[in-house]
Copies of this chain bind each other. A is one copy, B any other.
Amino acid sequence: MKKRLFTPGPTPVPENVMLRMAAPIIHHRNPEFMEILTRVHEDLKYLFRTTQPVVVLSCSGTGGMEATISSLFKKGDKVITVNAGKFGERWGELVRIFTGNCVEEKVAWGSAIQPERLAELLKEHPDAKGVCLTHSETSTGTAADIQTLSALIREHSDALVVVDGITAVGAHEFHFDDWGVDICITGSQKGLMMPPGLALIAVSERAQDIIKGQSMTQYYLSLKHALKAHAGDDTPFTPAVSLVIGLDEALQMIKAEGIENIWKRHESLANACREGCNALGMKLFSNSPSFAVTPVWLPEGVKWSAFNKALKNSNGITVAAGQDDYKDKIFRISHLGFYDELDMLTVIGGIERALKEINFPFEIGAGVSAVQKAFLGN
């Protein structure tokens, strides 16, 4: 059976990227690799819309979050974190470990923090050294308005603007420089269409200055080390060579398509996916939907285990389950990275087939024709 992955990381890896990584390995001090890394550094600036360095760490996105918190802040520094889901919660866990002074703002799952509330927090905590946000919260499929939030922080505070862009970069419009963001992180297995294993981190001038002045508290996950090596288009430690080479291939694809077109494609795929779900009578979970992943309430009477089994075993389709309190209550369809319009037809078509198999009543074809209409008009 053909297998099709609709999960928000890992996301499908294009064949040319896989084949490029399958070429015989080269040494990381070899000029051929240095040339690739130099090009990757340059192309990552294009992706993040920045003239500042974007460093490559060989670790997952969480490793990138840890490197950020431990490199940027010191014991006692007050940091505001927004917890609107599993990954916003992670900011808080990291801040508590590394500074011990976390102001955590909880937001209901499926909603994003509102600018007015952030303004209040900034007023209450004028001594905050940083604000940690999540652009696209993967656990809830919810997008925050980073442009507005960042502007607000820059206007009212000296706090650094720290953005988890792990499932947003490449899916949502984002301008690192123009929006005044200080740190933005993504992971290779997301919008970059790669296997997991790399974290990519853009660092503003202001953040670089602070990092330079910090005493070293980490070694492998140190942005200080990473920035120093980056200045010579190098990495401080042996990088995941094959992944960096695959990233080079993926970035060429991104440049060829054009970042604005990629943002538009994700918005359009997300919209069609929502239309398809609506047409099948399934309720959407988020009131501020991400363009990377669409979370959907399981219809009343539909059990996750039976639905997932029908999707996976009979149709070869993998979607993501709900997390934490929403396990068995929602499921999540990803359209982040290497997806096109026909893929949305496939996933909604597969959902129809699974719903039929478990005898859920709906009008067969309603979902897929809503998808077609979303793309092609009535």
Contacts and interface: CB of A to CB of B under 8 A. Distances in A.
Q: A29, A97, A197, A237: which has the most chain B beta carbons within 10 Å?
A: A197
Nearest to A246: B242
Given A12-B25, A13-B25, A59-B58, A240 B243 contact: yes
Interface of A: 3, 5, 7, 9-13, 18-19, 21-30, 58-63, 65-66, 93-94, 97, 187, 189, 195-197, 216-221, 237-243, 318, 321
Contact of A26 (B5, B240, B242): B5
Nearest to A28: B10
Contacts of A60: 58, 220, 237-240
A197 B240 contact: yes
15 contacts: A10-B25, A10-B26, A13-B24, A18-B22, A27-B318, A29-B321, A58-B60, A58-B197, A60-B237, A60-B240, A63-B237, A65-B220, A189-B241, A196-B240, A196-B242
Contacts of A65: 220
A164 to B, nearest CB: 14
B66 A196 contact: no
A237 B66 CA distance: 12
Contacts of A12: 24-25
A5 B21 contact: no
Contacts of A28: 10, 196
